[in-house]
Structure 1
């Protein structure tokens, strides 16, 4: 019953959006219409766009990721094969409360029209082409973005870090210290987005990252809409960036404080790009141990002229070390890349260089 109400809301929104087009009209021609020996399409919508008659063969879902729309495309193709000849152009069509960017790309490539509650409308008709591109509704955006937040993000990072390996739910749960339920749910989401290949079924099911590029593009798009994390700025006397990183390591070891250098300084260590670095950004485990490390460094809080930035960290699990180079603990390359994307100056150039050298290689 709830989905029937949502489906009606989607169809009403589609009809209203088409009505707002030049010489646009639309109305429901039928619901749950039988097509072929076993098919039943969710709705048929009759429409006029710029005076051109169209018939939309509509399938509906709540939210849509790439795997969802691939299944629906097959259904729509099957419906079209069983439709009689018509004097109107027939357009296979998909509606959902929200459609992920990857799913939108697939629908466009396959010539399938689509609409979501954010107001996005795509009608690939031969004589009445329409494309209105708008962001997904805020509530649904949270669903799409949840995989980049909290414990799910730790799972995604782990899959990326071991992108050449086939991984089980148990392995990922143990490595990331999340519950098997969280690991399973995250891997299932990655599967729906077609970020991973799948082997086996049930408890023995394994996944492996399919394409670093797809994951990096999606995470970069998410990061672009987020506020940069809070950073506390300090001045540490008598040290260039390399020397400061070494002293940071000594101070954190003395305080038994987990830490990881990130952003420009880490990118320069992983994939040298600039001639010099003047600042060090890092994460240090919050609490008394962080305070002890900063006291050992004689770090003085400042608003300008800083050379040490400590990025806000909520929990120990947020600090992940990729490699130890030159006696300094560096954040994982993926985390460094994401931090660079939120940086200033030449940070985005360094991000592109690091991605090419370490993340997509």
Structure 2
């Protein structure tokens, strides 16, 4: 194999060789000139693939990590290059140590070949050849940093951004200061959170400096990323389970709303809340209630609830922060406090009973979003 200065590119060529019996004829870095500078690539590799008599030129961009925003820029670079060198028959390839799921999907959709070094995932399509080897890779530090967006004050920014989109739709442009006020956090927290969301291409931007405004462009993808973190957190939360005899017409939900009416810091969530918000989705005979940390036993005793690990119809979940933001009240139930629609949806992802089906229907009817999308 010819001298390849970049180890990532060498790994890619070795992987391609294993599948196609490729021979590297030549590798060079493209010379920068006034004419080609804007569409310059890292490497041009001339190869002969298997039984194909003529050489193929691989135009390669080598990166450490690629996320959707980076992938869009690379797609634009390859498109500009194809237009500039209209007669050239180059095969576009992105080689990266790590490629996020969203970046991989975007590159596939745009028919740009790629190789993820960390896992050996290889997508190569040119002429009659179609290679698609998918392998799971270990999560890099950058991906863990994205997950951190859904914790603490940054999670409040995410919640505020989604709620603002739900109310304003396509007109949901807002400044960093406005978002900080809405999220009840600092402009610095908003700035660091938005940088991660911009890197994922989940937000649109217009203006700059004091006139900079942002708008959520992919609410479904942001919600799905939040849901992934939420599911992992659910088993670690402090929950207590109780039983209450409720004979009234409104069942356990109205029974608990009456007893919680004069207390603060709580919100009805899960299936009971979702059914009250979008009636007739499914029958509900249990109530999940977000309560302040440390009050579960005291409140249960005051409401004459009985401990019940089995057969419970009331669950107290101790939480603070984003879970209690943007709550609502049902006009037909004076004094009621419901969690936001997004928290209701996330709490339906616990796998209990028919909650998965209810979550999908609630997502369509109450959040006006399509099915869950991964990547």
Under a length normalisation based on structure 2, what TM-score does the superposition of the two structures give?
A: 0.80
Instruction: Return closer, same or farther for 1:201/1:307 CA change in 2, 3 Å cut-off.
Output: same
Structure 1 residues 14 and 145: alpha-carbon distance in aligned structure 2, compared to 1, 3 A threshold: farther
CA contact (8 A) 2:57 2:91 kept: yes
Q: In the alignment, what sits opposite 2:40?
A: 40
Farther-moved stretch of structure 1 (158-167 vs 295-304): 295-304
Rounded to whole Å, the distance in 2 between the matches of 1:347 and 1:290 is 24
Does the CA-based 8 Å contact 2:206-2:213 persist in structure 1?
yes
SS in 2 for 1:146: helix
Report the counterpart of residue 57 of structure 2 in structure 1: 55
Which secondary structure does the structure 2 equivalent of 1:330 belong to?
Answer: coil
Retained in 2: the 8 A contact 1:33–1:43?
Answer: no
Find the counterpart in structure 2 of residue 148 from structure 1: 150
Shift of 1:81: 4.4
Is it true that 1:338 corresponds to 2:337 in the alignment?
Answer: no
Compute the displacement of 1:198 (Å).
2.1
Q: Please tell me whether the aligned partners of residues 19 and 25 of structure 1 are also in contact (alpha carbons under 8 angstroms).
A: yes
Give the whole-Å Cα distance in 2 for the aligned partners of 1:204 and 1:352: 38
* 1:1-361 alignment, distance < 5 Å: 8-21=6-19, 23-24=21-22, 29-31=27-29, 33-34=31-32, 36-38=35-37, 39-47=39-47, 51-52=51-52, 54-81=56-83, 90-116=90-116, 117-139=118-140, 140-163=142-165, 164=168, 165-220=172-227, 228-230=235-237, 232-239=239-246, 242-252=250-260, 254=262, 256-287=263-294, 289-313=295-319, 315-325=320-330, 326-327=333-334, 328-360=336-368
Deviates more, 1:175-184 or 1:262-271: 175-184
Cα distance 1:167–1:284, how it changes in 2: closer, same or farther (>3 A)?
Answer: same
Name the CA shift for 1:221/1:129 in 2 (closer, same or farther; >3 Å): farther
**How far did residue 107 of structure 1 move?**
1.3
Q: Gaps (5+ residues) in structure 1?
A: 1-6
The equivalent residue for 2:373 is none
State the distance in 2 between where 1:176 and 1:329 align.
Answer: 19
Q: 1:3 — aligned with what? A: none
Q: Does structure 2 conserve the Cα–Cα contact (< 8 Å) formed by 1:31 and 1:43?
A: yes
Deviates more, 1:266-275 or 1:44-53: 44-53
- 3-state SS of paired residue (1:283): strand
Q: Determine helix, strand or coil for the equivalent of 1:258.
A: coil
Q: CA deviation at 1:119?
A: 2.5
- 1:354 CA drift (Å): 0.8
Residue 259 and residue 37 in structure 1: after superposition, are their counterparts in 2 closer, same or farther (change >3 A)? same
Aligned-residue RMSD, C-alpha: 3.1
Q: Gaps (5+ residues) in structure 2?
A: 370-375
| SS of equivalent to 1:92 | strand
Aligned counterparts of 1:133 and 1:150: Cα–Cα separation in 2? 34
Q: In structure 2, how many angstroms separate the alpha carbons of the residues matched to 1:208 and 1:102?
A: 19
Question: Is the Cα–Cα contact under 8 Å of residues 60 and 96 in structure 1 kept in the other structure?
Answer: yes
- TM-aligned CA deviation for residue 351 of structure 1: 0.9
Mean Cα displacement is larger for which, 240-249 or 344-353?
Answer: 240-249
Going from structure 1 to structure 2, the CA distance change for 1:195 and 1:231 (only over 3 Å counts) comes to: same
In the TM superposition, what is the alpha-carbon distance from 1:155 to its structure 2 partner? Answer: 1.0
Residue 115 of structure 2 aligns to a residue in which SS?
A: strand
Q: What are the superposed Cα offsets for residues 179-218 of structure 1, whole Å, 9 maximum, x if unpaired?
A: 2122012223323333223232113211122243343444
Deviation at 1:55, TM superposition (A): 3.0
Closer, same or farther in 2 for the Cα pair 1:48/1:196, shift >3 Å? same
Give the structure with the larger strand fraction: 1
Q: Partners of 1:108 and 1:285 in 2: how far apart?
A: 46
Contact 2:240 2:296 in 1 (8 A): no
Q: What's the CA shift for 1:25? A: 5.8
Deviation at 1:221, TM superposition (A): 5.5
Number of aligned residue pairs: give it: 350
Q: Distance between the aligned counterparts of 1:14 and 1:312, measured in 2?
A: 49
Q: Shift of residue 275 of structure 1?
A: 4.8
> How far apart are the structure 2 equivalents of 1:207 and 1:47?
45
Whether the 8 Å CA contact 2:159–2:322 is kept in 1: the answer is no
| Greater shift in the superposed pair: 261-270 or 275-284 | 275-284
